[in-house]
Amino acid sequence: MKKKLIHLLSCIVPNIFVSIAYKNLTTPRIHKLRPHEATVLDKAIQTDFSFGGFTIKTYQWGTGSKSVLLVHGWEGQAGNFADLIELLINDGFKVHAFDGPGHGESTKGGTSLFEFNKLVVQLIKTFKADHLVSHSFGGVASSIGLGMFPEIKIKRFVLFTTPNKLIDRIEFVADTIGISNRVTTRLIKKIEFEKGIIVDNMNVADYVQKASVEKALILHDINDKILPIEQSKEVEAAWKEARLEKITGTGHYRILRTKSVLQKALNFLNS
C-alpha cells in the first residue's frame, strides 16, 4: 500500500521524489562495527587527509614488501575486512585500507561512485599498491578507476562480488522506493547532468577491458540475495584476465568472514 501511494504521489510531484531518490543513492548509512572489526582497526596506523571536501581516514598494518589496498563496499568500511587483514599481515603483506567519503570514520555527507573511484586511484598511487581487494560496490569504484587510468599496473585483483551496470543500481533504488518510471527517467537525467556521464555507459564490464590487471579473481555466492551472481558473470564474460569462482553458504556479507573463502583470496594474491 505504501509503495502504491508513493508511486501515485511521484506522478503528481515528480521533482520532490527525484530529490528523495537522489539522496537515497548518494547518502550512505553508517553501520556499527563488530567488536572484532573495531579491535583490528585500533591496531592500525591511522592517518587523516583531505579529499574533495572530505577528511578521509586511512589505515595501515604490517611492514611487508607486498602492498595491498582494500576497498570496501557501499555503506561498508575498512573494518569489514578485519579477518582478511589478519591473514594478510601474517603472510607478509603491508595492508592499506580506508573509509570512503561519507563512510565509517571519514567525514559524513553525500557521495557517489565518482568520488570513490577518484579516491581509489589516488590511494593506489600513494601507497604504491600492486595488489587490490574489493567488496561489492568497491569493485565498481576500483574497476572504473583502473579503466580510466590504464597506466596503473595491478598484479592481482580479488573482487568479493561485483555489480556491473550502474543502471541496475538506479533501478533497484527506484523500485525499493516505489517511484514511477517518469521519476526514474528524470533521476537518470539528473545524474547524467550533474556528473557529466551517460548512465548506460557506466558498466564494470566495459572498464575492466581497459584496465591493466594481470589476473583477477571474482568470488561470489550463488545464493547472494543482495547482489545476484549474474552481475559477476557478466563481468567475467567481458574480462579475459578474470576468473569467477562460485561460492556457497556465505551470502553477500559473511563471505568476508568465511575462512575457506578468505584463504582462496590469499592464495590467489600470492599466485
248 Cα distance to chain centroid: 21
CATH code of the domain containing 57:
3.40.50.1820
Is the predicted pLDDT of residue 30 greater than 90, yes or no? no
- The per-residue pLDDT for 14 is 60
Q: Are residues 216 and 141 in the same domain?
A: yes
Q: Are residues 148 and 245 in the same domain?
A: yes
Q: Are residues 136 and 264 in the same domain?
A: yes
Residue located via cell numbers 571474482: 218
- The per-residue pLDDT for 10 is 53
Query: For residue range 172-188, what is the model confidence (pLDDT) as tens digits?
Result: 877 777 777 888 888 88
Q: Are residues 2 and 53 in the same domain?
A: no
Average model confidence (pLDDT) for the chain? 91
202 DSSP 8-state letter: -
Asked which of 143, 173, 200 is the last residue of a domain, the reply is 200
Q: Are residues 153 and 68 in the same domain?
A: yes
The 10 Å CB-count burial string (b at 16+, else e) for 73-88 is bbbbbbbbbbbbbbbb
Please give the share of the chain, as a percent, with pLDDT higher than 70.
Answer: 94
- The per-residue pLDDT for 19 is 79
- The per-residue pLDDT for 1 is 40
Q: Decide the pairing of beta strands 93-99 and 153-160.
A: unpaired
Average pLDDT, stretch 139-164? 96
Length of the chain: 271
Q: Are residues 53 and 130 in the same domain?
A: yes
Average pLDDT, stretch 16-34? 82
Distances (CA, A) of 97 to 31, 101, 104, 108, 271: 17, 13, 12, 18, 22
Q: Are residues 136 and 193 in the same domain?
A: no
Asked which of 183, 200, 217 is the last residue of a domain, the reply is 200
Query: For residue range 207-236, what is the model confidence (pLDDT) as tens digits?
Result: 999 999 999 999 999 999 999 999 999 999
CA-to-CA distance for 101 and 93, rounded, in angstroms?
Answer: 25
- The per-residue pLDDT for 13 is 56
Q: Are residues 148 and 23 in the same domain?
A: no
Q: Are residues 174 and 160 in the same domain?
A: no
Q: pLDDT band at residue 26, thresholds of 50, 70 and 90?
A: confident
Domain extent at residue 175: 1-30+165-200
Q: Are residues 14 and 133 in the same domain?
A: no
Average pLDDT, stretch 2-27? 65
Query: For residue range 184-202, what is the model confidence (pLDDT) as tens digits?
Result: 888 889 888 888 888 888 9
CA-to-CA distance for 204 and 119, rounded, in angstroms?
Answer: 17
Average pLDDT, stretch 102-131? 92
Residue 258 contacts residue 162 (beta carbons within 8 Å): no
Per the structure, the count of domains in the chain is: 2
Q: Are residues 59 and 138 in the same domain?
A: yes
Q: Choose between 254 and 167: higher pLDDT.
A: 254
Asked which of 200, 222, 248 is the last residue of a domain, the reply is 200
- The per-residue pLDDT for 261 is 98
Query: What sign for the dihedral angle of Cα 174, 166, 119, 155?
Result: positive
Query: For residue range 39-78, what is the model confidence (pLDDT) as tens digits?
Result: 999 999 999 999 988 999 999 999 888 999 999 999 999 9
CA-to-CA distance for 201 and 178, rounded, in angstroms?
Answer: 25
Query: For residue range 242-260, what is the model confidence (pLDDT) as tens digits?
Result: 999 999 999 999 999 999 9
Q: Are residues 148 and 256 in the same domain?
A: yes
